[in-house]
A and B are shown apart, each in its own frame.
Chain A
Amino acid sequence: MIEAYLFYFFAVTTVLLAVTVVVQPNPIGAAVSLVGTFFSLAALFVLLHAHFVAIMQIILYAGAIMVLFIFVIMLLNLEPEKVKLRTIAGNRLVQGSAALYLAGVIALAFFGWRQFFTQGVVANEMEGTIEAVGKLLLTDYLVPFEMTSVLLLVAIIGAVILARKPVE
């Protein structure tokens, strides 16, 4: 019972803070709202018994990535922009396909799920602890796990090359 109340509370805060991110004119305000969204999502992960993912969400997303965002916003010294919510990018084809895609996603979410998931409740309990997830990460997913280090190295080199001053 208490779990259901907690779910509804954190679901509502997640969605409301996500809306704030999108409609906020000030980039710093949007970044702070995004940190709040990530904390609420971490709470939802805890409700799903994914403890390791929740901790990584707070350390990586709300910590590292958002500090990077706020650092760049402060570095560029941006002033708030006027939000015009009626401007949609792209031509008719892009708008039409985006609208069609959204309609499909919503229709699938509201009508199609019953065919795909006949039972929505937990079959047997499985805790997403560091031990269980880490064991899976270093046995079945060892090769992709090692590949991500190459990806991060490429990203670091790319970021440095992109952001440095052009050599005359």
Chain B
Amino acid sequence: MEITVHHYIVISCLLFIIGIFGVLTRRNLLIILMSVELMLSAANLALVAFSRFSSHLDGQVAVLFVFIIAAAEAAVGLGIVIAAFRHTSGVRVTSWKELKG
């Protein structure tokens, strides 16, 4: 009963699918941002698992870059949430229909 890379890929896939499900079904902008964080974490788990089972540390360096990008994305995303809340006093994405391009 040894844990192989396959086990970690399955967990990573499940996390990614849960994240996509959240982005597609929820209408609260904050929860959509959290689901995006879940998808980034799924990618992180896959990167670390591959790094471990291929005996290279490059995957872990990539994960550190993903952390930095996630921090930047959260800061800008929450800034947008606050700016949008000021206009419509709500965070439901359906109330911003006029943003349709």
Number of interface residues of B (CB under 8 A): 72
Check A163 against B83 for contact (C-beta < 8 Å): yes
Is the beta-carbon distance between B72 and A155 smaller than 8 angstroms? Answer: yes
A98 touches which one: B4, B20, B33, B53 (CB < 8 A)?
B20
A contact residues around B34 at 8 Å (CB): 21, 30-31, 34, 69
* Contact among B16, B67, B78, B92 with A69 in the assembled complex (CB-CB below 8 Å): B78
Q: Which of A76, A84, A124, A158 has the most CB of B within 10 A?
A: A76
Contact at B48–A109, with CB atoms within 8 Å? no
Binary interface encoding of chain B residues 59-86 relative to chain A, with 1 for a CB under 8 A from any of its CBs, else 0: 0110111011111111110111111011
Chain A residues contacting B99 (CB-CB under 8 Å) are none
- Say yes or no: A60-B52 contact (C-beta < 8 A), given A83-B26, A105-B17, A136-B61: no
In the complex, what residues of A have CB within 8 A of residue B14's CB? 15, 18
For the complex formed, measure the closest distance between the CB of A34 and the CB atoms of chain B, giving whole angstroms. 5
Mark contacts of B33-63 with chain A using CB atoms, 8 A cut-off: 1 yes-contact digit, 0 otherwise.
1110110010011001101111111101101
Within 8 A of A (CB), among B1-31: 1-11, 13-22, 24-28, 30-31
Smallest beta-carbon distance B35→chain A, Å: 6
Who on chain A is nearest to B1 by CB?
A4
Chain A, range 128-167, C-beta contacts under 8 Å to B = 128, 132-133, 136-137, 140-141, 144, 148, 151-152, 154-156, 158-163, 165
Is A93 interfacial (CB 8 A cutoff)? Answer: no
13 contacts between A and B (CB under 8 A): A15-B15, A21-B18, A30-B31, A45-B48, A65-B70, A83-B26, A102-B17, A122-B52, A123-B53, A123-B55, A128-B51, A144-B65, A162-B83
